[in-house]
Amino acid sequence: MSMYRNENEEHWSDHAICRGADPDLFFPIGYSAPVLKAQEDAAKAICANCPVKAECLSWALQVGEPDGVWGGTTPEERRYLRRTADAPVRKPLPVIVVRGDASESEHASAA
């Protein structure tokens, strides 16, 4: 299998509905000001109806795309997804009793 796509071969991005949209909409300068939040919401609304949203998000996560709205997610949301996907399953820590910090009955009910 070739590493390079045949020019006639379709790619998920060929079916992305954002192809006709203004690229600036998907690359806000920031993500906190109200006007930028509105821009982010507009980009996500386009993504919400896209038939290749999952492929787009998967690609952005694979390459570590640091900017823009991809697959309906912001860079911060993708960082969160990568952290939680890579994180080991958390197990509850045992209750540690330090002498004098609580009564015995409180420790018994916590265990």
Query: What residues are designated binding site for [4Fe-4S] cluster?
Result: 18, 47, 50, 56
Annotated binding site: 18, 47, 50, 56
Q: Is the separation of the CB atoms in 17 and 46 below 8 Å? A: yes
**Pairwise CA distance, residues 66 & 31, whole Å:** 13
- What is the CB neighbour count within 10 angstroms for residue 4? 6
Residue 31 and residue 78: Cα distance in Å, rounded?
Answer: 14
Q: Which tokens in the block code for residue 61?
A: 């996560």
Helix (H, G, I), strand (E, B) or coil at 86: helix
